[in-house]
Structures are given as C-alpha cells and as structure tokens.
C-alpha cells in the first residue's frame, strides 16, 4: 500500500510539472508556438488588425488540429511516465539504502547483545537475526562442551596409561635384576601381557578421540556373506567371553548378504558386541539376529544386563558419553557407539537402541542396495 501511495504522489507531481510546462509554452514561447499552429491548422492566412493588434485570420482545418492534439496527449503521457519512473526509482533506491543502513546498525547492535529501537517493519527481520544468534550460541556451547569432555578424557586416559606402564616397568625390573622361580616368572609374563593389552586398548582410545569427525572416510561397499562375516567377528571376541562365562547365539537364515563396507561395518559390530560383553550379566547369552526385508535388512544385538533408563538411552550415542563414571578398566573413551552410529548413517542406515527390564537391543537398519 505504501508503494502505491508513493506512485500516486509521483503522478500528481508529474501532472503539475506538465501544467507548468504548458504555462511556460503559453507565456514564454507564444510567438513560436502560435506561428506553428497557424501554419498547421489555418489555410488562406492573412494579417488583420484587431483591437489595435496584429492577428492572423484564415480557414480552420480540424483534422490537422486533431492530429496535433493526439501527438500532444501521447507525448504528455510518455513524459508523465518518464517522470514517474525516474522519480520512483530514485525514491526506491534512497529508501533501500536507508533500510540497508538500518539493518547494518541493528545487526551490529544485536551482535553486541544490545537491544535496538523497535521498528514494526523490521520486527520479522529482528526475529530472524535473534534466531540465528541463538543457534550460533547453541553451536558454540556444544563445541565447548565437546572440547571440554575431550580434554577431560585425554587427561583421564593419560593418567590411566601411567598405571599399566608403571606395572610393566616394575615387573620387567624384577625379572631383569633378580632371579625368580619359573612359576612366578610365568605369572609375571602373564600380567605383563595383560598390562600390554590394556595399554593397546588405551592407545586405540587416544586414536579414536583424535580421529573422530576429523576426516571423511570413503565407503567401499560390497555384498558380504552374513554368516561368514559374523562367525569371524565372534571368534575374535571369544576370549572376552570367558571372564563372565558368556555365549554368542547367532540366528540367521543361510545365504543372507549384507551390502556394506566390510572393514567399517566390522568396526560397528565390534563396538556393539564389546559393549554387550561389558554390560551383560554373568552366565548370560548375547543374541545376534538378522532379518531381511524387501528394501532393507535389520541386524539385532541383544543382551541382558543392567536396566538402562529412557533418559540414558538418549545419551548413549552422544560423543564422549560413558556409562561408567568411575573410569575403571572397562570404561572407554565414550566414542564406540557414537562412531558406530556415524558409520551406519554413512551407509544411509540407522542405529537405534531399546531397553526394557535390563533386556537391551541394538537395531541396525541398512538398505539392501
């Protein structure tokens, strides 16, 4: 409505300019204009004296006057439109510059946390700018929290590395500087191996922290034989089952194929199975099941352990989240499930978790092609 009102103002202005031009022609260019009209619309012209003044008399020719008036109307309309166009463009540019200057000023004030003067026309823009600022603040807070968790975990892991390293140095010093019975020597070697494995695990956690979300890993998908693939993975983990007397139960129909990157998908299942082993009750069974659909397949990893609350289910896939806050030897860097979900999502799939009365199920869904 405001633009239309401006446009009518320009039409009125142009009309007065046109009237002024006509008056200028009438008073200042009387001789020139009069002679032109005399030549165009009068025939058999002759000079006569009228009230003491020279006048021209002749036969009036209407068609000529009609054409002249038509040209004047068209010319006047074109002139009117030109005046309206250029004046409106000038006004719009001026208004646009004014709005841009106001926006720059408001953005500057909002970025500093100050509240600018309320302008009704800019209310929507102010709302959008505030929303962007809030989102940026949330992102900054998330980054700071992630960095804080990461730094804390690096500190914890560095401290944890000292424990097995000190033990290894101690056992090796005893073996090097003194004679010990063969039975004790074998026991020390066993403990040295356990501490070395612990150091390897902690070192891998360091690598996970430094590499997570810092590189794009390309996918090399292929059809994997599900039965052979799962047998290989579970065989590697059988030594970890002994401490709690756990068992694997694999249930799948023959000739099932999984379309995935073999090495990355192995890491997903390795993380899920190690997680199930760590939190399963003693003498329980970890079940692995595969179901095929028309467009996708689902792989289930089930175990019985501690009850996981609904709130904790939302957190277990967060980076650096660890269920075990005591930092005992079984606690990791809190990246296993986060990395597993990211890998599955790279496969255009999903990884979800359900838990009821201590029975926990991780569900991987992947497209068939």
For 314-343, the pLDDT digits (tens) are 888 777 666 654 444 445 556 678 878 888
Examine residue 216 and state whether it is found in any structural domain, yes or no: no
Domain endpoint, select from 211, 241, 258: 211
Same domain? 77 vs 13:
yes
Residue 303's pLDDT is 93
Which pLDDT band, with edges at 50, 70 and 90, does 192 fall under?
Answer: confident
Same domain? 230 vs 315:
yes
Same domain? 314 vs 266:
yes
Same domain? 70 vs 137:
no
Domain endpoint, select from 117, 150, 180: 117
Residue 1's pLDDT is 41
Q: What is the mean pLDDT of residues 174-184?
A: 83
Q: What is the mean pLDDT of residues 161-178?
A: 80
Whole-number average pLDDT of the chain: 77
Residue 352's pLDDT is 92
Same domain? 256 vs 337:
yes
Same domain? 109 vs 158:
no
- What predicted TM-score, i.e. pTM, was given to this entire model? 0.51
Region of residue 109 (phi > 0: left; psi between -120 and 50: alpha; otherwise: beta): alpha
Higher pLDDT, 312 or 12: 312
Residue 178's domain comprises 127-211
pLDDT digits (tens, 9 = 90+) for 66-125: 777 777 778 777 877 787 778 778 878 887 887 788 777 777 776 676 666 666 666 677
Q: Which residues pair with 302 in a beta bridge?
A: 287, 361
For the chain, the domain total comes to: 3
Whether residue 270 has pLDDT greater than 90:
no
Examine residue 144 and state whether it is found in any structural domain, yes or no: yes
Neighbours of 246 (CB within 10 A): 20
pLDDT digits (tens, 9 = 90+) for 282-297: 999 999 999 988 889 9
- For the chain, what percent of residues have pLDDT higher than 90? 14
Q: What is the CATH number of the domain that holds 200?
A: 1.10.287.130
Q: How far apart are CA 291 and CA 314, in angstroms?
A: 25
Same domain? 160 vs 140:
yes
Whether residue 363 has pLDDT greater than 90:
yes
Which pLDDT band, with edges at 50, 70 and 90, does 349 fall under?
Answer: very high
Whether residue 5 has pLDDT greater than 60:
no
Q: How far apart are CA 161 and CA 206, in angstroms?
A: 10
Same domain? 141 vs 239:
no
Pair of tokens at residue 144: 């700071």
Residue 287's pLDDT is 94
Lowest pLDDT segment from 36-45, 139-148, 275-284, 320-329? 320-329
Same domain? 176 vs 111:
no
Q: How far apart are CA 168 and CA 191, in angstroms?
A: 8
Domain endpoint, select from 187, 211, 235: 211
pLDDT digits (tens, 9 = 90+) for 222-238: 999 999 999 988 888 88
Q: Residue 246 in 3-state DSSP?
A: coil
Residues in the chain: 369
Q: Are 330 and 198 in contact (CB under 8 A)?
A: no
Q: What is the DSSP string of 190-210?
A: HHHHHHHHHHHHHHHHHHHHH
Q: How far apart are CA 156 and CA 334, in angstroms?
A: 12
Q: What is the mean pLDDT of residues 140-154?
A: 74
Residue 301's pLDDT is 94
Same domain? 163 vs 300:
no
Residue 304's pLDDT is 93
- For the chain, what percent of residues have pLDDT higher than 70? 68
């Amino acid at each position: 409505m405001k633009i239309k009102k401006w446009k009518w103002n320009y039409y009125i202005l142009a009309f007065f300019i046109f009237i002024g031009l006509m008056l200028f022609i009438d008073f200042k260019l009387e001789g020139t204009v009069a002679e032109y009209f005399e030549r165009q619309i009068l025939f058999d012209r002759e000079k006569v004296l009228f009230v003491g003044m020279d006048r021209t008399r002749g036969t009036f020719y209407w068609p000529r006057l009609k054409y002249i008036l038509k040209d004047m109307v068209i010319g006047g309309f074109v002139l009117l439109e030109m005046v309206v166009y250029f004046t409106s463009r000038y006004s719009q540019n001026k208004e646009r510059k004014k709005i841009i200057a106001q926006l720059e000023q408001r953005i500057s004030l909002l970025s500093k946390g100050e509240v600018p003067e309320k302008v009704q026309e800019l209310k929507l823009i102010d709302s959008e700018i505030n929303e962007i600022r809030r989102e940026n603040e949330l992102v900054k807070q998330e980054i700071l929290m992630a960095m804080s968790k990461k730094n804390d975990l690096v500190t914890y892991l560095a401290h944890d590395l000292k424990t097995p390293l000190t033990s290894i140095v101690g056992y090796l010093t005893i073996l090097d500087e003194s004679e010990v019975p063969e039975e004790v020597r074998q026991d020390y070697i066993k403990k040295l191996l356990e501490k070395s494995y612990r150091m390897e695990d902690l070192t891998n956690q360091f690598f996970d922290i430094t590499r997570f979300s810092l590189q794009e890993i390309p996918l090399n998908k292929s059809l994997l034989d599900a039965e052979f693939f799962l047998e290989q993975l579970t065989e590697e983990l059988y030594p970890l089952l002994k401490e709690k007397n756990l068992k694997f139960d694999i249930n799948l129909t023959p000739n099932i194929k999984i379309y995935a990157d073999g090495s990355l998908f192995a890491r997903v299942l390795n993380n899920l199975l190690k997680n199930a082993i760590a939190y399963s009750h003693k003498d329980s069974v970890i079940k692995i099941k595969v179901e095929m659909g028309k467009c996708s397949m689902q792989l289930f990893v089930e175990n019985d352990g501690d009850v996981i609350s609904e709130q904790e289910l939302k957190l277990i896939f967060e980076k650096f989240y660890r269920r075990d806050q005591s930092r005992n030897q079984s606690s990791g860097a809190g990246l296993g499930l986060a990395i597993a979900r990211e890998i599955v999502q790279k496969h255009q799939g999903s990884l979800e978790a359900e838990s009821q009365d201590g029975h926990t199920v991780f569900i991987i869904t992947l497209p068939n092609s």
